[in-house]
Amino acid sequence: MSIQTLDTNIIAVLAEPWALLPSPNSFFESLDFEDILRQPFRYSQNASIDVARSVAVPMSVVESSNQLSVNLGQLRVEVHDQSAQPTITGSVLPDLLHLVFAKLPPVRLLAVGVNLEGQVSTTDGMTAAREIGDKVLKVSTHFEAQGLHLVAGSARYGMQGQDGTTYTVSIEPRFNAPDTRNVWLACNGSIEGPELPDRVRLMSALREGYAMLSHALETFFPEYSESYEK
């Protein structure tokens, strides 16, 4: 069974909030999305958790019929692709983020996150925790105390690219549910700096993220790796 892509996104975190944001509907309708976002659009409101500041941030969201979306808030701008595409070849997220920022007032950034999420379902009837314990953590049944069995297990490791971008790869049961058979994999890239990285660097971070998820699959779950290409 192949990996299921859940979400690919780029998030720009602002160092300080915009003094005034435009009306979401009029702002989005004024943008020339150059066929990146396909109409009809759907507008909504939600909240995103700013972990660094420990606050819930209101977000205005526009979603397109091709499962791309833009989330606009006082402290962050997010672009998402939930179209379940198996590769990032031709990803429009860097172009979409730059298009939005070109129409907003200048602002200083803290960092930009480039994030990828996917999942695979176990095919042998084992839970995701057991699969991670056996194949990633290498925990044998001898590790478990008498009368107990493994119901949770996760792994996380970090790496840094030559351009200074840091990446964290996470592997855990989906939603940390003890009985789920879905293994959740994510790669979170972080580019620190006050300015929005150019399209080339953002695309490079996307490619590196997919390469790391591919490597994790090939290393720990080789039976799933053939259908997950960079």
Q: pLDDT tens for residues 94-133?
A: 999 999 998 888 899 999 999 999 999 988 888 998 889 8
Residue 228 has pLDDT above 60, yes or no: no
**Would you say 115 and 10 are in contact if contact means Cβ atoms under 8 Å apart?**
yes
Over residues 32-66, the pLDDT tens digits come to 776 677 767 787 877 666 655 555 556 677 777 77
**Would you say 184 and 173 are in contact if contact means Cβ atoms under 8 Å apart?**
yes
Q: Rounded CA gap, 48 and 31, in Å?
A: 23
Cα 215 to Cα 23, 148, 220, distances in angstroms: 43, 32, 8
Q: Quickly tell me which residue has 């983020």 as its tokens.
A: 97
Over residues 158-191, the pLDDT tens digits come to 999 899 999 999 999 999 898 999 999 999 999 9
Over residues 63-79, the pLDDT tens digits come to 777 788 888 888 889 99
Higher pLDDT, 101 or 87: 101
**Would you say 57 and 46 are in contact if contact means Cβ atoms under 8 Å apart?**
no
Higher pLDDT, 145 or 106: 106
Q: Rounded CA gap, 127 and 173, in Å?
A: 8
Residue 202 CA, distance from chain mean position: 13
List the structure tokens of 198.
């150019």
Q: What is the mean predicted confidence (pLDDT) over 17-46? A: 73
A 10 A CB-CB count for 62 gives: 22
| Closest C-alpha among 36, 224, 204, 24 to residue 118 | 224
Question: What pLDDT was estimated at residue 1?
Answer: 43
Least-confidence region, from 28-32, 84-88, 104-108, 217-221: 84-88
Question: What pLDDT was estimated at residue 50?
Answer: 61
Question: What pLDDT was estimated at residue 14?
Answer: 93
**Bridge-partner residues for 43, per DSSP?**
62
Question: What pLDDT was estimated at residue 36?
Answer: 78
